[in-house]
Chains A and B, each alone.
Chain A
Amino acid sequence: MTSPDQSTVFIIDDDLSIRESLQSLFQSVGQAAQTFETTREFLAAKRPDAPGCLVLDVRLPGGSGLEFQRELVSSGILMPVVFITGHGDIPMSVGAMKAGAIEFLTKPFRDQDLLDAVHKGIERDRERRREASSLQELRDRFRSLTPREREIMVLVAAGQLNKQVAAALQLSEITVKVHRGQVMRKMKARTLPDLVRFADRLEAEGLGRLADAEAAL
């Protein structure tokens, strides 16, 4: 496993020896790892802007790991979590998995299990970040549209023909065609289905109804 994109494992465990051993294990496979004694330390640290995965002991000073998992979600840190525990019971692991943990490993665990889980976590984070950044790009593209172009994009994405759009906006069909070409170019949509898909994603991801997007921007 290599981390060409600086992916990092974040280890939070109050036991120094566990932290040391985990860090050594990750480094031995070329995976960057940072260790923290407390959750507070982790939150205060400056984290690299790269895919990551959290390895969390269930028993932590100043609150259980499960609580911290919920805290992370509510504070917008969407990093995948792998739990390690000295005393795992089934209800606890079910709770952790339900809250979105990648894996729940009982100490002592097989190293490959941990590496696999962390790998899976990093991949998931990478995927999430890619998703997030492509969405961001879409937003930027959408922002670059003129108000007129946005109107036309909304109507076109809703399945209306040029003629209908022209009628609705009281424009000539030619003008609509020109604007539509601009929209396709600026949004980097090669085909109409592409544009419809982009519009759907923007609508789903917090921009509200695209029709009201003008007000939102």
Chain B
Amino acid sequence: MRDWNGEPPGDRLALLTTLPPGRGQLRLAGLVLLVLLAALLAAVPFARVPLPGTETLLQGYAVAVLTNEIITSVLLFGIYAVQRSPAVLALAVGYVFAALCIIPWLLTFPGVLAPNGLLGSKLQSTAWIAALRRLGFPAFVLAFALLGDRPPHGPRGSAKPVILTSLVATGAGVALFTWLVVAQESALPALMTASGPNALWLVVPAGAVLLCAIALVFLWRSRRTVLRLWLMVVVSAWMIETLLLGFISAGRLSLGWWAGRLYGLTAASLVLVVLLSEMTRLYAVLMRSVSAERHAREARLTTMEALAASVAHEVNQPLASMVTNANAGLRWLERASPDLGEARTALKRIVREGHRAGAVVEGIRSMFRRTGQDCGPVDVNDVLHDALDHATGELPPGRISVHLDLEDRIGPVVGNPVQLRQAVSNLITNAIDAMQTMEGRPRLLRVKSALRGGNEVLVSVEDSGPGLDPEYGQRVFEPFFTTKPDGMGMGLMIARSIVEGHGGTLWIGQSGPEGTIFCFTLPVAGGEAQPARRRT
């Protein structure tokens, strides 16, 4: 039997963290990167233009970044819960960290919520928080790039405690740092002067760019996945943001600074967008494969039912004949003057029908046997002769003229002769049935065998019937599909599955008003030396 499912389900989950990026993904990522770079070049000439009074926009910006990063981290934690990859955990924590840092940053930003910021912040507070975030996020991405995707060995507990612990630790860390930079501001080295950042401040963007570069290198060198690919774009955006903020712009609220902020928003949103779109796509793929699997199962079931019905009928006929013959025999013997001749005839018929039932059962068994010991070298021409005798044996003489056109030089094929005969006789029976109701034309059945390409035997069964309706197409091979009033619709399906089981192909060679040709090929046993027939 054919494998209906296509691929067996793999043990590797198709998650974004393990899925290799497709060609389209690579192209899109490259395009996004190009756009980011082009935007940077376009922004450089105007980077130092001041935009006073734009503090109010900062709230919206901060909320957008915060929301995107929180959602991204939730999705990543979700993936971690399934996959338990330490790398994904590090990245999820990185996003939570970046999101949490936004809160004190916004609160302490002078001129946004209060002239000097909330929380009683001082001049250095916002800058220190910004520095922490700027350096922290690339560090987490680097951790992601360095850590493996494989979950650690050992017992797999619940993911919940791990996730909770990381959340609490991150939250506590950011809170502690905020308290430090607000309450102990005077104890920290100054990053800002009243007129703008001082020289020490420049260490922060330089460090961040360095971290980003290292992360990029490691991301580049590790196994490509969809997530890693897009993280490379994110890190690039983060790098450009840092360059704009630290070196190109004229400090806070200049055009360059705002351009940097936009890169920050892009960096915060990219992974989210990719995660969402890829998850939707994967979900659709999953649904498709689930429904394909269900259809395949249903098809298998109906095939089995049809097969069972067909088997029941095939066995029942000889059985009924045997019972009736036995009864008739008894009655011949029970007559006042027993008729031994008639009784003997009845008994002989019982023997014949018993063998017929046995052959049916054997045929069915062999159909389900994949590689039975009954496989061996088979002469295709013998099979054709047998099947033809069997199928035409009951026909009245002269009803159909049979033309046999067999190639003698065909080597044996390896296969099960009972199965192959079944396949051929299904085709021949169909051909005969197709000509059953035909009038005014010779009923011609032509069975041919030929060599094809030196390593294949081509068999064709041709009738002069009215042809198949073209709209049926390949449906004739489906179970239950029949054009005969009393057909089961199993014959062609069985024939095809047998031929394919022997490494061959079965197809409709031609069908028109002049008749129909069914063809199949079988591979000829290789080499000149014919394999010795096994004796058991």
Question: Hey, which chain B residues are within 8 Å of A60, CB to CB?
Answer: 486
Does residue A17 face the partner (Cβ distance < 8 Å to B)?
yes
Q: For the complex, give the distance between the alpha carbons of A107 and B394 in Å.
A: 21
**Residue from B328, B352, B433 within 8 A of A17 (CB atoms):** B352
The count of chain A contact residues (Cβ–Cβ below 8 Å) is 26
A21 contacts chain B at the CB level, 8 A cutoff: yes
Task: Name the A residues within 8 Å of B346 (CB-CB).
Answer: 21, 24
Using known A-B contacts A60-B486, A64-B486, A87-B312, determine if residue A109 contacts B328 with beta carbons closer than 8 Å: no
Contact A22 B485 (CB under 8 A): no
Q: Do A28 and B320 touch (CB < 8 A)? A: no
Query: Which residues does chain A contribute within 8 Å of B332, judged by CB atoms?
Result: 24, 28
Q: Which residues of the partner chain B approach A21 to less than 8 Å between Cβ atoms? A: 320-322, 324-325, 328, 346, 349
Q: Are B349 and A29 in contact (CB under 8 A)?
A: no
Partner of B353, one of A17, A22, A61, A87: A17
CB distance from B425 to the nearest CB of A (A): 16
Most chain B CB within 10 A, of A15, A24, A29, A60, is at A24
Kindly state the separation between the CA atoms of A19 and B318 in the bound complex, as whole angstroms.
11
CB within 8 Å for A107 and B328 given contacts A17-B353, A24-B342, A28-B335:
no
B345 adjacent to A86 (CB under 8 Å): no
A100 to chain B, nearest CB (A): 22
Bound complex: CA of A27 vs CA of B329, how far in Å?
A: 11
Given contacts A24-B325, A24-B346, A27-B342, contact A18 B486 (CB under 8 A): no
**A80-96 vs B: 1/0 string, CB under 8 Å?**
00001011000000000
**Does B274 count as interface, using CB distance less than 8 angstroms?**
no
User: Which chain B residues numbered 313 to 329 have a C-beta less than 8 Å away from chain A?
Assistant: 313, 316-325, 327-329
Q: Is the CB of A111 within 8 A of B486?
A: no
Q: Is A25 an interface residue (CB 8 A)?
A: yes
List residues of chain A with CB within 8 A of the CB of B331. Answer: 25, 28-29, 111
CB neighbours (8 Å) of B317 from chain A are 15, 17-18, 86, 107
| Interface: B436 (CB within 8 A) | yes
| Cα–Cα distance between A163 and B534 once the two chains are bound (Å) | 106
Give CA–CA (A59, B436) in the complex, Å.
16
Residues on A with beta carbons closer than 8 Å to the beta carbon of B325: 20-21, 24-25
Cα–Cα, bound, A24→B319 (Å)? 16
Select the residue from A18, A62, A108 with max chain B CB neighbours within 10 A: A108
Q: Is the Cβ of A109 less than 8 Å from the Cβ of B313?
A: no
Q: Which residues of A contact B436 (CB under 8 A)?
A: 61-62
Q: A15-B321, A17-B349 are contacts. A28–B316 as well, Cβ < 8 Å?
A: no
Q: A27-B342, A28-B335 are in contact. Are A18 and B320 (CB under 8 A)?
A: yes
| Nearest CB on A from B437, distance (A) | 6
Contact with A along B260-293 (1 / 0, CB 8 A): 0000000000000000000000000000000000
Select A87's contact among B313, B323, B356, B394, beta carbons within 8 Å. B313
Known: A59-B486, A107-B317. A22 touches B335 (CB 8 A): no
Q: Are B485 and A18 in contact (CB under 8 A)?
A: no
Residues in B with CB closer than 8 Å to A22 are: 324
A79 to B335, CA, bound (A): 29
The reply to whether A18 and B327 contact each other, CB–CB distance below 8 Å, is no
By the criterion CB–CB under 8 Å, are A17 and B342 in contact?
A: no
Chain A contacts with B in 127-155, Cβ cutoff 8 A: none
Residues of A within 8 A of B433 (CB): 61
Within 8 A of A (CB), among B350-380: 352-353, 356
A50 within 8 A of B: no
Considering residues B312, B320, B433, which has the most beta carbons from chain A within 10 angstroms of its beta carbon?
Answer: B320
B14 within 8 A of A: no
In the assembled complex, how far is the CB of residue A149 from the closest CB belonging to chain B, in whole angstroms? 54
Tell me the A residues contacting B by CB distance below 8 Å. 15-18, 20-22, 24-25, 27-29, 59-64, 84, 86-87, 107-109, 111, 114
User: What would 8 A/B residue contacts be, using CB atoms closer than 8 Å?
Assistant: A18-B317, A27-B328, A59-B313, A64-B485, A86-B313, A107-B320, A108-B320, A108-B324
